Structure 1
Amino acid sequence: MDDIARFYRQPSPTSGLGRHRDRVLGLPAGSEALSAIVRGLLIHNDTARVQGLRFSAERMSHKETVGAEAILDNVIGIDPAPLDRERPVERRMFGFCYHFALLHCALLRATGTPARIRCGFAGYFEAQRWIDHWVVEYWDGSRWILTDPQTGRSDLTGDDFQDGVTAWSLCRGGASQSATYGNGELWGWDELRGSLINDVTALNKVEVAGWYWCDRLQVEPLDQPHDELDKSLDVLARLAATAESIEELGNCFDPYPEFQPPAGAVAR
């Protein structure tokens, strides 16, 4: 476990804070305190819509941002105050769950806590539905703990959240119904496929959102089973679920490199 903890304590190219590294000095090291800081810097696009907030096209384009350093570029460009100063809602960066999770993970790593983001499905947004969502998993010295920096929920259970690997395996095995997994617009197998890929890449510290770049997933109809494709993804899920080392996690994509996002992938 020491090697795994060391791996997830170090920043990735996506979670590195770069020029903003010194801004974490003096910040608390605890997960809940850092989670609250993140909520004071970002606003979810759905929250902005419900509250009737209007943002410029430039501000709304921040939703496509990839990388913690770029997130903080946006945050500080709007308001240069210290990170632990909560911004008014209209002066927060416009984003979605991926940005909350990645920034929280980045701050945890920068303050010495092993952490990784997980792409999957939350069961607490809509009854009897699993809504696609990003959360954070951090190592407390004895176990991995799931926490949701967007909502402030902590110590999530399997009833609260299913990571992409788990959700795929449950649906493929018949224990869950694929039609209950989605994002409000699209339900079923496309959502499960994309979240699986995002989850496995994030376990390898390649933290991007969206799978528009993956031509292999562009099958019709998107929400229905596809025998050849889905059998390939079964292999990916099985390798990720049984990996016991960082090396084995890194080997997950060896049989199917087309499932690994390119360097220029962005959040969509």
Structure 2
Amino acid sequence: MDFYRQPSATSDLGRHRERLAGLPAEPEALGAVVRGLLIHNYTASVQGLRFSDARMSHMETVGAAAILDNVVGIDAAALDRERDAEQRMFGFCYHFALLHCALLRATGTPARIRCGFAGYFVADHWIDHWVVEYWDGSRWVITDSQTGRSDLTADDFQDGVTAWNLCRGGASQSEAYGNGELWGWDELRGSLINDVAALNKVEVAGWYWCDRLHVEPLDQPHQELDASLDVLAGLAADAEITKAFDLYPDLRPPADAVAR
């Protein structure tokens, strides 16, 4: 628990630590704070909101401190003041999960973000998504920082390790996993390495940096690569997190990896 209570390079609030004063410590209340600071790119589109190119570039932001740079650069009010939609940082599920995780760790709650697939956006499909797990004293509780759904079950969310193992074992079909544009094995591979990285507290989004995953065709099985990923997933499932990346350093995100 101490490992997940301490900040990572990406979840360290750094210069913004003084802004924690007055924030709630209760995990779900902190999730509500995050939703008052950020707006999802899809939500903005549905609401017909228009943002400048500079504001839209916030989608590429990595790191909780950088997220808060954007937030207070738009509106310097206290973090517990809910912003109007137009005054929130433009981002996606990764940003919601990372900022929530950072606030949880900073207020003493062990937490980690998980990359995987949500089953509640599109019927009979698993859509790639980032969520937060926090330790409530007896178990890990999964919460969706973007939507406010809490205490997610296996029917709601599959982390990248679980989804990979289910599809490789034939219990699930790879074509049901994706994001509206990309479906199948590429999505499963990318979510797996993102999930294992996040378990290591290396919290980045996207996997364009990983040359090892650039195989053709992307949405089909690849014997050599997938065999390596089976080992990675097995180690992660057995909580051998550090060993997983020690064995396959080419699947570890580089220090300069950024969200796409």
| TM-score where L is the length of structure 2 | 0.99
Q: Which amino acid aligns with 2:231?
A: V
Q: After superposition, what is the alpha-carbon deviation per residue over 1:9-38, rounded to whole angstroms, capped at 9, x for unaligned?
A: 000010000000011122100111100000
Q: Which amino acid aligns with 2:107?
A: T
Alpha-carbon distance between aligned partners in 1 of 2:33 and 2:19, rounded to the nearest angstrom:
12
Larger deviation, residues 250-259 vs 134-143: 250-259
Structure 2 matches for 1:81-230, cutoff 5 A?
81-230=77-226
| TM-score where L is the length of structure 1 | 0.96
Determine helix, strand or coil for the equivalent of 2:247: coil
Q: After superposition, what is the alpha-carbon deviation per residue over 1:98-124, rounded to whole angstroms, capped at 9, x for unaligned?
A: 000000000000111000000000000
What's the CA shift for 1:254? 1.9
Aligned to 1:252: 244
Give the CA RMSD over aligned residues: 0.5
Q: After superposition, what is the alpha-carbon deviation per residue over 1:237-268, rounded to whole angstroms, capped at 9, x for unaligned?
A: 0000012xxxx311111221110010000011
Aligned residues: 260
What's the CA shift for 1:54? 0.4
Q: Which amino acid aligns with 2:50?
A: R
Structure 2 matches for 1:48-87, cutoff 5 A?
48-87=44-83
Q: Which amino acid aligns with 1:265?
A: A
Structure 2 matches for 1:20-59, cutoff 5 A?
20-59=16-55
Alpha-carbon distance between aligned partners in 2 of 1:152 and 1:184, rounded to the nearest angstrom:
22
Determine helix, strand or coil for the equivalent of 1:254: helix
Q: Which amino acid aligns with 1:134?
A: W
Alpha-carbon distance between aligned partners in 2 of 1:200 and 1:163, rounded to the nearest angstrom:
10
Alpha-carbon distance between aligned partners in 2 of 1:30 and 1:221, rounded to the nearest angstrom:
45
Q: Which runs of 4+ in 1 moved over 3 A?
A: none
Alpha-carbon distance between aligned partners in 2 of 1:139 and 1:167, rounded to the nearest angstrom:
22
Determine helix, strand or coil for the equivalent of 2:7: coil
Q: Which amino acid aligns with 2:201?
A: K
Q: What stretches of structure 2 of length at least 5 have no aligned partner?
A: none
Q: Which amino acid aligns with 1:249?
A: I
Structure 2 matches for 1:11-22, cutoff 5 A?
11-22=7-18
Q: What stretches of structure 1 of length at least 5 have no aligned partner?
A: none
Aligned to 2:256: 264
Alpha-carbon distance between aligned partners in 2 of 1:43 and 1:70, rounded to the nearest angstrom:
16
Q: Which amino acid aligns with 2:256?
A: G
What's the CA shift for 1:232? 0.4
Alpha-carbon distance between aligned partners in 1 of 2:182 and 2:256, rounded to the nearest angstrom:
25
The answer to whether 1:231 aligns with 2:223 is no
Determine helix, strand or coil for the equivalent of 2:187: helix
Alpha-carbon distance between aligned partners in 2 of 1:36 and 1:194, rounded to the nearest angstrom:
28
Q: Which amino acid aligns with 2:242?
A: G
Alpha-carbon distance between aligned partners in 2 of 1:224 and 1:149, rounded to the nearest angstrom:
32
Alpha-carbon distance between aligned partners in 2 of 1:58 and 1:176, rounded to the nearest angstrom:
40
Determine helix, strand or coil for the equivalent of 2:98: helix
Alpha-carbon distance between aligned partners in 2 of 1:181 and 1:150, rounded to the nearest angstrom:
20
Determine helix, strand or coil for the equivalent of 1:168: helix
